[in-house]
Amino acid sequence: MKKRKIKFSLVYRDMWQSAGKYMPHKEQLERIAPAIIDMGCFDRIETNGGGFEQINLLFGENPNESVRAWCKPFNEAGIETHMLERGLNGIRMRPVPADIRKLMFQVKKKQGVNISRSFDGLNDENNIIDSVKYAKEAGMVAQGTLCITYSKVHTVDYYVSLADDLIKGGSEEICLKDMAGIGRPVSLGKIVEGIKKKHPDIPIQYHGQTGPGFTVASILEVVNAGCEYIDVGMEPLSWGTGHADLLTILAMLEDAGYEVPDVNMKAYMEARRLSQEFIDEFLGYYIDPYNRQLNALLIKPGLPGGMMGSLMADLANNLKSINKYLEKKKKPLLTQDELMLKLYDEVEYIWPKMGYPPLVTPYSQYVKNVALMNVTQMLKGKERFTIIDDNTWDMLLGKSGKLPGKLAPELEEKAKAEGREFYEGNPQDLYPDELDTFKKEMDEKGWDYGQDNEELFELAMHPEQYRNYKSGEAKKAFEEDLAKRKSEGGGLFPAPAVEAPKAEPAAPVQPSTMNIDVNGEKFKVTVSYGDEGGQSKAENKPETSASAPAKEEKEPESKEGAEEVTSPIEGNFYLTKEASEKPLKVGDTVKKGDILGYIEAMKTYNSIKSDKEGTIVEIVPDNGEEVIEDDVLFLIK
């Protein structure tokens, strides 16, 4: 007699994100959807979430059209669709105001997404329960999510208790999100067993990346304990930092006596062929070979598969900077493997000190960024924690939610020494509603709000990427980068020849500036150029500085005696990072400790503070311009 039926979800979006930088275009998704349906073995398909919409925008493609087109065939076939969202952070890397979070669920439901998988990078139940409430109000199924990791604080009882809180808070399903694949199989089985004991009728779905190699055993354990839904990948993107292969899991569970669906292998081979075609066409140029391998080295640092694409790019960029310094000092250079091992060791060392945040987006990036900065700074003879970006500080101070563990004394002392205050309130209160600001911007530019306000939502969720999409700069930058990669060689999964485009796109070549003389007075003026997107390139500003005026400023007569403020790291220079900030201009006076601007590096912002009082006599880089370590940013007199 067969045991109960096990259902499967193809995480087609996450398959690509876990492998590399990009995922298929709208037309490619439309082409492969019929083959996935004809396989006849999926009850659910992951159609949105995470970096999906930002990736569309980086292509120069409308993400709303893509989501609707991708969901439509599955909706018509009766296959449920689900998305992944990050609680307080929505579907981006930083906190989202409540009115934009609510609009997200309304828009996604109307676009055809049935289930919202809501997680919080700190496992703060309050952030998840807010999403559960908003999802249900929009008519979606609310799936509360446990971010699985392995530490002395992340015990079986911890997770069973968290699931209990989420269910009491309205979650209709529970997902075990084993994002790094380091959940131990027996413990995962005990977690499912504990949840089922208290809530036998609550469906449970397991999502496990395969990086370190535990996942096949984990799937068997959670199914034996009562899990109903299993996320899987398929060739050519199964395994590695991705997901267990559908065919392997079907064979294993069938042997274990469970009822599993048959697979139409003709349709399977067609879906496999199409995915390979997409890789050969262009996606393979953004897939690092390391991400196609199982890697037991990931067990200790616990870094998730979904960020490995960006991690390898970050390593390559930092390796250049480090080796440039080592060569200058006549010291032995590092290989990428040596730097990678140093990074893994540093992540393992600092993770407990940072309060054990589960290593999932965005907090996996925060911990990784601090670790990489530490490695870089220590190789240059400096101390640990010399540079901590603003986003990471917000996490450490409680502005994103409660840390699972206790912050190390040295970080508490560093916070106090820098005048940083810890926060114990509701994080959402720190981020007031902003929709009216974005409505005003759309009205001023004559942009349509879109069907079901979806274009308004896109601007509000991804301001800078959306503006770059509207201006045409995103499409241009992507096509130029792809052409360069292709010209420098390739293969099935070629290593990136150049740095992959950043999540926050680099500022365009335009606008340019010129110095003019009017009646003996010197002015520095921005020259903007209109485009068919209805937006001048002068408006193409960093993400949260839409209201910042174009640079038009009086230049002091003399810079003699001015002191330099230099960049501590490589990245992109921005004058502001929040819509409420007023950008500095030449002639402004500053005090010691004032924030002058920001360097965006590895998807996080690092504030540049003045160490002197005086007047700004020059702002050297343009807003959004790429800078390297020790570049002059400001002259202050």
Confidence of residue 517 (pLDDT cuts 50, 70, 90): very low
Residues 180 and 304 sit within 8 Å (Cβ to Cβ):
yes
Lowest mean pLDDT, pick from 38-52, 287-301, 526-540 = 526-540
Confidence of residue 435 (pLDDT cuts 50, 70, 90): very high
Q: 116 versus 23: which is more confidently predicted?
A: 116
Q: Quick one: tokens of 88?
A: 């307080």
Write out pLDDT tens, residues 592-622: 888 899 888 766 778 888 888 889 999 999 8
> Per-residue pLDDT for 260 more than 70?
yes
> What is the C-alpha end-to-end distance of the chain, expressed in Å?
84
- Mean pLDDT across 183-193: 98
Residue 312, pLDDT score: 66
Confidence of residue 551 (pLDDT cuts 50, 70, 90): very low
Write out pLDDT tens, residues 43-90: 999 999 877 888 889 889 999 999 999 999 999 999 999 999 999 999
Instruction: Give 320's contacts (C-beta < 8 A, 6+ positions apart).
Output: none
> Per-residue pLDDT for 529 more than 90?
no
Write out pLDDT tens, residues 319-356: 887 888 888 888 999 888 888 889 889 999 999 999 99
In a domain, 423, yes or no: no
In a domain, 417, yes or no: no
Q: 315 versus 261: which is more confidently predicted?
A: 261
- Number of structural domains (the chain) is 1
Q: What is the CATH number of the domain that holds 627?
A: 2.40.50.100
Instruction: Give 524's contacts (C-beta < 8 A, 6+ positions apart).
Output: 513, 514, 515, 551, 552, 553, 555, 586
Residue 182, pLDDT score: 92
- Report the chain's mean pLDDT, rounded to a whole number: 86
Amino acid at 75: N
Give start and end residues of each alpha helix (H) in 329-380. Answer: 336-353, 363-379
> Per-residue pLDDT for 549 more than 70?
no
In a domain, 538, yes or no: yes
Residue 249, pLDDT score: 98
Residue 95, pLDDT score: 92
> Per-residue pLDDT for 394 more than 90?
yes
- Mean pLDDT across 300-314: 69
Write out pLDDT tens, residues 216-235: 999 999 999 999 999 999 99
Q: 312 versus 73: which is more confidently predicted?
A: 73
Write out pLDDT tens, residues 356-385: 999 888 888 889 889 988 998 888 888 999
Residues 552 and 511 sit within 8 Å (Cβ to Cβ):
no
Task: Report the 3 state secondary structure along 478-498.
Answer: HHHHHHHHHHCCCCCCCCCCC
In a domain, 242, yes or no: no
Q: How far is CA 8 from the centre of its chain?
A: 25
Write out pLDDT tens, residues 167-179: 999 999 999 999 9
Residue 300, pLDDT score: 82
Write out pLDDT tens, residues 12-28: 999 998 888 888 999 99
Closest CA to 577 of 558, 608, 557, 605: 605
The pTM for the full model equals 0.78
- Mean pLDDT across 130-140: 98
> Per-residue pLDDT for 476 more than 80?
yes
Alpha-carbon gap, residue 408 to 412, rounded angstroms: 6
Confidence of residue 308 (pLDDT cuts 50, 70, 90): low
Q: What percent of the chain has pLDDT over 70?
A: 87
Residue 497, pLDDT score: 40
- Mean pLDDT across 419-443: 95
> Per-residue pLDDT for 583 more than 80?
yes
In a domain, 364, yes or no: no
> Per-residue pLDDT for 316 more than 80?
no
Residues 196 and 223 sit within 8 Å (Cβ to Cβ):
no
Q: Domain range for residue 592? A: 512-636
Alpha-carbon gap, residue 9 to 475, rounded angstroms: 32
> Per-residue pLDDT for 107 more than 50?
yes
Residue 490, pLDDT score: 55
C-alpha distances (whole Å) from 187 to each of 124, 182, 192, 292, 494 are: 21, 11, 9, 27, 37
Residues 632 and 564 sit within 8 Å (Cβ to Cβ):
yes
Residue 527, pLDDT score: 41
Residue with tokens 């020059």: 618
In a domain, 136, yes or no: no
Write out pLDDT tens, residues 192-221: 999 999 999 999 999 999 989 999 999 999
In a domain, 219, yes or no: no
For the ranges 105-109, 283-287, 308-312, the one whose mean pLDDT is highest: 105-109
In a domain, 624, yes or no: yes
Q: 319 versus 454: which is more confidently predicted?
A: 454
